[in-house]
Amino acid sequence: MKDNVSIYHLTKSLFKIIDVLVTSILLKSCDKIWLALDRAHHTNKDSLISKQIKGADEVNKKLSATSSYTGILSYSTHAQAVYTSRLLDFKNLPEPKNADDNNAVYSGN
């Protein structure tokens, strides 16, 4: 039982280390991609990426200028429709398929 607990903590520590490393690698990659796109945008104003950036900037300007929260729904409903909601019932859910495997790993069986 003690060995399973130490393996569990070791595995948990390894997952934390891997998570930090992967996050770091992804952030560095995103920075490199962003710099490359920015460089391409400023180097050639007629390139496809430049046109897409300009288009996105225009859309963002229009959205920020026209959008402000007013409390009014952004969708319409039909006047004759009946809309209902109900609580979800979780009592009759089947047992998860991998539930037996998890218990065996942590209980030492």
The answer to whether the pTM exceeds 0.75 is no
Q: What are the tens digits of pLDDT across the range 3-56?
A: 666 777 788 888 888 988 898 888 888 888 888 888 887 888 888 888 888 888
Give the whole-angstrom CA distance, residue 68 versus residue 87.
32
Could you give the C-alpha distances from 74 to 56, 66, 77, in angstroms and in order? 22, 13, 10
Write down the pLDDT at residue 73: 62
pLDDT in tens, 64-79: 666 666 666 667 778 8
